[in-house]
Amino acid sequence: MSKVNELGTAKLTYEDKSIDLPVFVGSEQEAAVDIRALRKETGMITYDPGFVNTGCCLSDITFIDGEKGILRYRGYDINDLAEKCEFIDVAYLLVHGVLPNKEQHDEFSQHLNTHSLMHEDMRHFFDAYPDHAHPMATLSAMAVSLSTFYPELDDVSLQENIDFKVTRLLSKMRTAAAFAYKKSIGHPIVYPSHDLKYCENFLNMMFHTPVNNYQVDPVVTKALNKLLILHADHEQNCSASVVKMVGSAGANLYASISAGICALWGPLHGGANQHVIEMLERIIVEDKGDVKRVIERAKDKNDPFRLMGVGHRVYKSYDPRAKVAKQMCKDVLAQMGVSDPLVDLAQEVEEAVLADDYFVSRGLYPNIDFYTGLTYRAMGIPTNMFTVMFAIGRIPGWIAQWLEMRDDPHGRIGRPRQIYTGPTQRSMS
């Protein structure tokens, strides 16, 4: 493996068996034991529910240091990218490995606009859904349906086909999200405009109506760009792993992304941003603002309740994205001249978490979902659209991870093993 530095071997000894397993490190000195020969040499497998200790690949895309709270896309720190870039620059960086120059930025922006319309027959899909349909369900259906409306083109190269898919997914999923919202509130849909850039177009499609002469607010546009950048990738998270697992079977990119959208919908994953708001609202309505009760419930092993927006598989320190989102939430509210009692309550919950050894001893801190929903709320985006916003932001990361999986020389169809614990052979007679 050309991309790693071999450090020697780790000896595994069991009964009369012993095996030397190669140990290597990546570019950030993360060390791994290569167990690819384990079963063949020993007949044994490893056991690691949730893949807490298991690496599935070598990757050049995103680096996370969970102890130090570091997040970098292609080597660039998340704070720099959120401050200095537009979302489409970061999408380009994740997919192509480099930030676009001005010419590449303008061309990419133009392509996104060119592909922003959805096929009119797809637009009618929305008419078939009930108004209360969760937009994550429609978004996933739209993603996989793109493969029927835009099949592979035989007369262009594989790379051009991929470039078309990347642009269609980034642009049309954003359009589909806005259409789903309009359908849910019974408003006429607003088509994308050629004159607006990626985030402005989304806001216009969401909030323009024939009677409000909506003007896109630059404060909200800047906040949306930052939020989408914060969500753009996060290495081998649950939904990215699903996208790669589906792609490893040879399924097309649209189908893989559709599966990733469904995984992200889960309340333990991207669905947490919606559940944070619902949790804060419940504290006000049911607990009369008593934070202590919700903290005690979260610590009670007999209570399945989890503190939404807190804890992370990798970050055992403050999620760097949560820091940016917290400040952005305050900035957006201040610049829009609005206040939200849920923000004060969220800070009270955060202070209680940071002061409680149950959380600190387990490395449980606010994650990206703790403050992002409050910022979307300040921007006028409804709660059931929060996870959709997460999905729109994560599309470039899912695509980059899928492309890297497809081009991986060590790549194979994903197929974990198990240890069987069921009944041994028994007769039917």
Instruction: Show which residues are catalytic.
Output: 312, 369
Q: Which stretch binds ligand SDX (CB under 6 A): 34-42, 168-176, 254-262, 310-318?
A: 310-318
94 counts as binding ligand SDX under rule CB under 6 A: no
Distance CA(401)–CA(239), nearest Å, equals 11
Q: Which is nearer to ligand SDX, 174 or 312 (CB)?
A: 312
Number of residues lying near ligand SDX (CB under 6 A): 23
Q: Which stretch binds ligand SDX (CB under 6 A): 185-193, 283-291, 366-374, 412-420?
A: 366-374
Q: Which stretch binds ligand SDX (CB under 6 A): 18-26, 117-125, 201-209, 312-320?
A: 312-320
Applying CB under 6 A, among 142, 308, 342, 374 the residue interacting with ligand SDX is 308
387 counts as binding ligand SDX under rule CB under 6 A: no
Place of tokens 């309009």: 182
Applying CB under 6 A, among 313, 323, 330, 406 the residue interacting with ligand SDX is 313
Applying CB under 6 A, among 69, 135, 260, 309 the residue interacting with ligand SDX is 309
Distance CA(335)–CA(73), nearest Å, equals 29
CB of 308 to ligand SDX, least distance (A): 5
312 counts as binding ligand SDX under rule CB under 6 A: yes
Task: Identify whether the C-beta of residue 257 lies closer than 8 Å to the C-beta of residue 398.
Answer: yes
Distance CA(307)–CA(412), nearest Å, equals 37
Closest CA to 219 of 203, 235, 236, 233: 203
Task: Identify whether the C-beta of residue 230 lies closer than 8 Å to the C-beta of residue 60.
Answer: no
How many Cα atoms are found within 13 Å in the side-chain-facing hemisphere of 155?
0
298 counts as binding ligand SDX under rule CB under 6 A: yes
268 counts as binding ligand SDX under rule CB under 6 A: yes
Distance CA(344)–CA(58), nearest Å, equals 42
Which residues lie across from 76 on neighbouring strands?
A: 73
Distance CA(174)–CA(191), nearest Å, equals 11
Task: Identify whether the C-beta of residue 94 lies closer than 8 Å to the C-beta of residue 87.
Answer: no
**Would you tell me which residues interact with ligand SDX (CB under 6 A)?**
50, 234, 237-238, 268-270, 272, 298, 306-314, 362, 364, 367-369
